[in-house]
Amino acid sequence: MEPPTDVERQEKKDIDIAHGEASGELRTVDLGLDASEVVTSVEKAEEARILRKVDLRLVPLLSFLYLVAFIDRTNIGNANIAGMATDLKLEGLMYNVALTLFFVPYGFFEVPSNIVLKMVRPSLWISLLLFCWGVVSTLMGVVQSYDGLLAARFFLGVAEAGFFPASTFLLTIWYKRYEVQRRMAIFYASASLAGAFSGLLAFLIQKMAGVGGYNGWRWIFILEGLVPVLLSFVVWKVLPDSPETAKFLTTKEKEFIINRLALETGSGHGRVTNSDRIKLHHIIAAAKDWRIWCGVVCFWANTIGVYGFTATVPAIIQGLGYTSALAQLMTVPVYVVAMIFVLGFAWASDYYQQRTPFIIAGFCIAIVGLIAELAIPHPAMTGVSYFFLYLVAAGLYSPFICLVCLIGNNLAPSSKRAVGMAILISFGNFGGICGSNIFLTAQAPRYPVGYGTGLAICCTAVIGTLVLRFAYARENKRRDDFMAGKTDDEVRAMYTEQELLDLGDRSPFFRYTL
């Protein structure tokens, strides 16, 4: 019997696709079908239309939720100068300890949270996290003692721990590697805006001082905490879980998104999977990948700097001689500029299909700002000091998503990516413990320990990023040399299909993003 011709194969493919659409069944390479038998590409205009549908359902919602999360996490800085320090009699390092305590459970619970995420619906899990942190944040407004503040900060860390790693992982199962950073940057830019909104909201809310017998700082916590509680009753219904279950997509659109991601290995050969069930070997593989831990060191440059800077910048500006209310407002443009840098770096990184140059560039901008702040004879030259706060913020915020995408792009299958990204973010966020204790009140307005520590870790991050680039490039070359002169079929004959999927980013077909 003669093998079918190309025309006959295409006719069979068209019939099979039509049958799949009629029955509602998804025809994907994850089911063992060949790439020639499924939908892997569409017209450019159609592709853009499908991605816009996904963008509108996913990115604005996650971005708004992260804005809310970051406000609830950092509004303690606004509350501190709005009367909390006086009412709770905070002295010495008491405020710094309260900042620090948040990051202990926040770091420990991120990896378990992402493991749970692979077992339940993301929309349900994220809604539960929203409700819990909203309740805790609201209760911070009624604490009557320092011990109560510590307890609230601890449980806020528990409740918020899973949101960021869950959201960033969720984005990676919808977009290709050089599409995801622009979306993730919009998501993360909301953290930059959080600083702006937090200062503006605090400026307005603290005017409620005396309402209900509460001081203004209490209303900051209460009102900003009620928002995620209300949102939790909506999110579980509207947040899409995965391309496979997305009700707003047609069968063909689902198949297109699933297949294009499965076939993206960086080499144009082989495939990966996002439909795997998490198993112990995925957790072990992520924990043993030294490049994730190198990424953690680079991550510390962001968390040490950002969390220390964000929690202290209102006080830094107030220390330049401005009133509390004006200091709140003057934080707004600093974070707006940081947001612009985040978005600009993300667009350029996706456009040029490079991550590490932009990570290094961002930290170099921060290094310039930090050196300047150390050199300025505070409290003199207030205008110059305020200007360099813009460079510090822009430099600390802009490389963060580049780093998260670098590690996320280079992990497969999705279960290893879920655990690996959680490890990166979890242990990386322990830098917040350090960051919360480097801007010491007794050292105001010069803050030599704060700026000096930030400078040292940013320099370390530049070195760590260069190490990652060299390691990834060397492994890509090794695989290119291995594949030279071999056909895909010859390489596949060395493994079973499941072994190739389990290898994930260690597959000879996979190429790392640089």
Buried b (16+ CB within 10 A) or exposed e, 362-383: bbebbbebbbbbbebebeeebe
Question: Coil, strand or helix: which one is 12?
Answer: helix
pLDDT (0 to 100) of residue 1: 46
DSSP string covering 328-378? HHHHHHHHHHHHHHHHHHHHHHHHHT-SHHHHHHHHHHHHHHHHHHHHS-T
pLDDT (0 to 100) of residue 154: 94
* Distance in angstroms (rounded) separating the CA atoms of residues 165 and 424: 9
192: region left, alpha or beta (phi > 0 left; psi from -120 to 50 alpha): alpha
pLDDT (0 to 100) of residue 405: 94
Among 289, 344, 335, 287, which residue's Cα sits nearest to residue 309?
Answer: 335
Note whether 130 and 231 are within 8 A (CB): yes
Note whether 200 and 420 are within 8 A (CB): no
pLDDT (0 to 100) of residue 23: 43
Residues of the chain with pLDDT under 50: 1, 9, 12-13, 15-23
pLDDT (0 to 100) of residue 367: 96
Task: Name every residue whose Cβ is closer than 8 Å to that of residue 288 and which is 6 or more positions away in sequence.
Answer: none
353: region left, alpha or beta (phi > 0 left; psi from -120 to 50 alpha): left
Strands (E), 108-203: none
- Continuous H helices in 140-179: 146-160, 163-172
Which residue carries 């990834």 as its tokens? 472
pTM above 0.95, yes or no: no
